[in-house]
A and B are shown apart, each in its own frame.
Chain A
Amino acid sequence: MIRTDDATAHVLARAGGPLPLGAGAAAPAGMLRLTRPDSTGEALPVWPDGATPSLLEEHQVAPVPVERAGETRRVLAACLRCCWTDQSADPWPGDPAPVELVLDTYRALIGRTDDLMRNWARGALRRLHDSAWIVMADGLVTLGPRCALWPVKSYAQLKELVRRVPEPERAALTVVADADIIAAATADTTAVAADTTAVAADTTAVAADTPLAVDTPLAVAATAGTTAADPESPAAGAGAPARTDPVPPPAPSGEPDPTARHDSSPEPDAAAPRVRLGGQVEGGAAEFDDLLGGYDERRRAELVAAFMAVEHAAEPVPEARFAGLRDPALRHTLGEMLARRGRTLIPHRERWISGYDDHAAARAARLSDESVSEGRPGGRGGAGQARLGEAAKAVLTLVLVHSVAIPRAEGLLPEDTWASPHPTPVDELRRHTQVPIGELEAALRTLRHAGLLTQVKAGEEAGGYVPGPQFHRLTPAARRRLQEELILAAGPHTPLAGAVRARRSAD
């Protein structure tokens, strides 16, 4: 387990999705801990004062656009309908459901049965999986960690929503019953789970010497001989669970479904924890109270609004719209709030947006490189599961050269920005580069979804890609470094590259 400070952990979580936590390891400040029955878990950042990004809507600031938003959300509604079976509990973790059931539910919702609809729904499932709203594996869908971020007061709305999604009409002749699919899939994962608990055994040794708060009521799974972390370690003082009553972990004898035929799942060891999706949400330590405590309610709300706006807006936010940005004192506090998450304010004339602090980003990049080179087991292991693949990076570089470097070399793009009005034609990417065509489409999809590329449509054939909204979030130092890296790559033997290298070695 890599030890990280809270700011770096926040950077890793923003760049790579939910952070995996070892058994008993506490979540960094400002994060929820989603605890599994074996006391490992995932950490996910939450926002101050119970805000959610829907706050942006109230302030009429455009959030980063969601690709195919309507369809994606309808598919998420179908997932919720299938997985949130016990509505007296929180939606997360819910129960697993076969992908086919989700697809059937979606079909009933929109009343279309053609192949096109099926492909679209599969695309939406993939995007939801990539953004941790659902977890799709072995033909099963479960609700993902981000579903734990829905505020409790919205549960009534979610229940009403689930009620409105129609029951799918399924042919009586399904070859395998849903419950059997689930039982078979969970039997598969039992083996994997045994592996991961072994890993957990390694990590508890490390965790034991760090003063980590263990405020989980769950006993550590006793299977792989792991010792439970010391229950007397200092409990997190401010880390009172925000909202969850501890949900008891599912009893080992608990059946996932009354109709499930138990005899089909091999379970020789009664002591082995059932790999059912047990889990509970534990509120993280409040991280901004010492900063926000001194302000009255109105200023506090203004600070939180500005924080949410700069963190989630698609474009830099005009300071005239937010007192938290206009007032230098408040802006200073906002800067401190952001710094605790490894972020920093980036000015664009009279507009502001947040980006990764250069030092925190460098630390995080180093850490995720290490965790990749260690080749940690478990697939999702290591921070940065959402790292860009090689093809995606290559395509992004190509777009940067075509949309920014070349227009700038021709004097068409005077400003210091990586946003550009000059689209890179898809044909250029397809025909005149060394990136294999097979990898191009997937790379473009990933980059679009992450807001690294924006598709520009113009007429039938024209149009292409420009750098996406994420490029507003580069600090001046990062903008400069990106430029230097491009020069080093494109003209490694030019005196310019020599000068760049000389300056770097001098630093």
Chain B
Amino acid sequence: MSDQPLTLDAALSDEAVLSTYRRMFAALARDSGAVVDDPALVDIAETLFAAFAEAGEEWLTHEQMRFACRAYPADQFDNRLRVLKGLGAIREVFPKPHQLRYRASFTSVVGLMFIRRMMDDGGQSEMHRLLALEDLNVADPRTTMEEARQSAANLARAFRLWALELITLTTGTIEELREQAPKLWGTEEIARRAQSLHGTILTRWPELDRVCTDLRAAIYAYSDASRRAAGRLADSAGTTRNLTLLPTETWRTFTQTAGKERLAAVLDGFVFDAPAPWHDPAAIARAVDEAPRPAPAQPTPPRSALPDAGPEGSLDSSPTAALERLAQVAESVLGSASRVALADVLGADWPSARRLLADLTTVDLRPELPYRLTWSDDLTIDPAREPSWLSHGYLERVP
């Protein structure tokens, strides 16, 4: 409590809580200042009761109680303990002087539970329980007519007072109505239960019709007041707040349990636009321009228009083919001679000379062929001739 910043909203909600406390205990209070003036004081009591429940038969000493309530200021705690002791909610374990251990009163704990529940829903669920219990009671064969009369009269009074409060709210400020009304107004469920109770009493004791008429009138008055309060709220809340008047759980239940038809029925009678996007010619052209381009295909090499078998098959792939060709080259160079100068056999054009030199070098490197190249250190240079630089060498046949 103390560590929260004190905002106007917090103060307002505290005041709402306190006013409920005051109203609940108005019947029991000795004077108008007798109810707590700080909601934290109730929290102290609750903390204490929780500590007592945990302690069990060990009970609690004053120090232990103080420890349990260490979150609250000392003076608030002392004040609370004095009141709780004075009213008998906390008592000595044994009624004798200088008692150090204390126990809590069961009645007070139950009372506090009841208070908390009343805070939550303004007593709607209490009314539900009460009606259910009364229904069981009047159906019980042991119940006397006098008890039934008493019960009907009590309920009639409760409904009348409830209705009166709602009517007052309905004519009051809208803020108060918004705050209080949803806690007070009855659902159809409550009205239905009350009417079934009324029916049970009337069939069992027809002579109670006078009390029952009272009860019936009270139920109707209450339903009517509920409807009027809701109507005023719905009208004033306009289009923003109305949805807040149904709790989140109701909405969730609706989405999870409602069938397709029920969901669809919400939108019956609403007119929405048909899909009608505009495709402007410029936009279409842009879209076509931005189309992902197909990957460029590999260009096929140009082919002759004439039928062409290609070089396939012209290669002799037998293992001796290379050797035979080399021997042929060497023989054609040598002719009948056993030694020939390269300068004589190389022609004037360098490309064919180059090819011949390459072949002869290969021949020289093949030990199985009977030809060798020998090179001397002489070099002829003649710029006018091709090749202009010529090493002197000989191809020889080796026996």
Interface residues of chain A, those whose CB is within 8 Å of chain B, are: 11, 14-17, 52-54, 57, 63-64, 66-67, 69-74, 76-77, 80, 109-112, 127, 130-133, 146, 150, 154, 157-158, 160-161, 164-165, 312, 356, 361-362, 364-365, 386, 388, 390-391, 393-398, 400-402, 404-406, 408-411, 414-416, 428, 432-436, 439, 449-452, 470, 473, 476, 478-487, 489-491, 493-496, 498-500, 502-503
B141: CB under 8 A from chain A?
no
* B309 at the binding interface (Cβ < 8 Å): no
Of B51-59, B82-90, B264-272, B354-362, the one contacting chain A is B264-272
| Interface status of B311 (Cβ within 8 A of chain A) | no
Residues 235-251 (chain B) with a chain A CB within 8 angstroms: 235, 238-240, 242-248, 250-251
Bound CA–CA A164/B240 (angstroms): 54
- Assess whether A483 is in contact with B243, with CB atoms less than 8 Å apart: yes
3 smallest A-B Cβ distances: which pairs? A111-B294, A73-B287, A386-B274
CB-based contact A489/B293 at 8 Å: no
Q: List the B side residues contacting A110 at CB < 8 Å.
A: 291-292, 294
Cα(A169)–Cα(B279), bound, Å:
27
Q: In chain B, residues 267-288, which have Cβ atoms closer than 8 Å to a Cβ of chain A?
A: 267-288
Check A131 against B277 for contact (C-beta < 8 Å). Answer: yes
Whether B288 lies near A393 (C-beta < 8 A) is: no
Contact A15 B278 (CB under 8 A): no
Residues in A whose Cβ lies below 8 Å from that of B264: 390-391, 393-394, 397
Does A483 contact B239, Cβ atoms closer than 8 Å? Answer: yes
| Cα–Cα distance between A95 and B268 once the two chains are bound (Å) | 39
B257 pairs with A434, CB closer than 8 A = yes
Residues in B neighbouring A480, C-beta threshold 8 A? 238-239
The answer to whether the Cβ of B290 comes within 8 Å of any Cβ in the partner chain is yes
Residue of A312, A361, A435, A450 touching B274 (CB-CB under 8 A)? A450
A486 touches B247 (CB 8 A): no
The answer, yes or no, to whether B310 is at the interface (CB within 8 Å) is no
Taking CB atoms, residues of chain B closer than 8 Å to A388 are 267, 272
Checking B240, B265, B271, B274 against A489 with a beta-carbon cut-off of 8 angstroms, the contacting residue is B265
User: Which residues from A are CB-within-8-Å of B187?
Assistant: 493-495
Pick the contact of B263 from A158, A394, A406 — CB < 8 Å? A394
Can you identify 18 A-B contacts, CB atoms within 8 angstroms? A16-B274, A63-B278, A69-B287, A74-B291, A77-B287, A157-B285, A393-B264, A393-B268, A428-B255, A433-B256, A434-B258, A452-B272, A490-B246, A491-B254, A493-B188, A495-B187, A495-B188, A495-B229
Q: Which residues of B are at the interface with A, using a C-beta cutoff of 8 A?
A: 185-189, 226-231, 233-235, 238-240, 242-248, 250-288, 290-295
**Structural contact, A496 and B274, CB atoms closer than 8 A:** no
Q: Which of B243, B246, B268 is the most central at the interface, judged by chain A CB atoms within 10 Å of its CB? A: B243
Residues on A with C-beta less than 8 A from B252 are 406
The answer on a CB contact under 8 Å between B231 and A502 is yes
A391 to B256, CA, bound (A): 15
Known: A15-B274, A496-B234. A432 touches B256 (CB 8 A): yes
Of B251, B276, B280, B286, which one neighbours A401 at CB under 8 angstroms? Answer: B251
Which of chain A's residues have a CB closer than 8 A to the CB of B288?
73-74, 77, 109, 161, 164-165
Cα–Cα, bound, A228→B283 (Å):
42
Residues of B within 8 A of A450 (CB): 272-275
Q: Which residue from chain A places its CB closest to the CB of B278 in the assembled complex?
A: A53
The answer to whether A406 touches B251 (Cβ under 8 A) is yes
A-side contacts of B231, CB under 8 Å: 499, 502-503
Q: Which residues of B lie under 8 Å from residue A80 when comparing CB positions? A: 284
Whether B243 contacts A408 by the Cβ 8 Å rule is: yes
Interface majority SS on B: helix, strand, loop or mixed? helix
Write out the residue numbers on chain B whose beta carbons fall within 8 Å of the beta carbon of A435.
260, 263
Chain A's closest residue to B263 (CB) is A394
* Least Cβ–Cβ distance between A104 and chain B, in angstroms: 13
A493 to chain B, nearest CB (A): 4
* Chain A residues in 8 Å Cβ range of B287: 69-71, 73-74, 77
* A276 to B3 CA separation, bound complex (whole angstroms): 83
In the assembled complex, the Cα of A131 lies from the Cα of B276 at a distance in Å of 5
Query: What residue in chain A is nearest B284 (Cβ atoms)?
Result: A73
| Pair B272/A500 contact, Cβ less than 8 Å | no
Contacting pair B260 A390 (CB below 8 A): yes
Given contacts A54-B278, A154-B281, A401-B251, contact A499 B227 (CB under 8 A): yes
Residues from chain B with a CB closer than 8 A to the CB of A400 are 266
**Is A398's CB under 8 angstroms from B263's CB?**
yes
Q: Which residues of B contact A16 (CB under 8 A)?
A: 274
How long is the Cα–Cα vector from A111 to B297 in the complex, in angstroms? 11
Q: Looking across the interface, which residue of chain B has its beta carbon closest to that of A360?
A: B271
Q: How far is the CB of B274 from chain A (nearest CB, A)?
A: 4
4 additional A-B residue pairs with CB within 8 Å, beyond A73-B287, A150-B281, A486-B243:
A70-B290, A490-B246, A495-B187, A495-B188
Residue of B nearest to A132 (CB): B276
The chain A residue with its CB closest to the CB of B262 is: A489
Q: Is the CB of B273 within 8 A of A451?
A: yes
Smallest beta-carbon distance A399→chain B, Å:
10
B276 and A161 contacting across the interface, CB-CB below 8 Å: no
In the complex, A393→B282 CA distance in Å? Answer: 35
B281 near A365 with CB under 8 A, answer no
B260 → A minimal CB distance (Å): 5
CB-CB under 8 A from A410, the residues of chain B are 248
CB-nearest residue of chain B to A150: B281
Please give the distance in Å from A155's CB to the nearest CB on chain B.
8
User: Roughly how many angstroms separate A132 CA and B264 CA in the complex, as a whole number?
Assistant: 25
The answer to whether B275 and A386 touch across the interface, beta carbons within 8 angstroms, is yes
B residues near A411, Cβ cutoff 8 Å? 244
Which A residues are in CB contact (< 8 Å) with B255? Answer: 398, 401-402, 428, 432-433
CA distance A489 to B246 in the complex (A): 12
Q: For residue A405, which residues in chain B have a CB less than 8 angstroms away from its CB?
A: 243, 246, 251
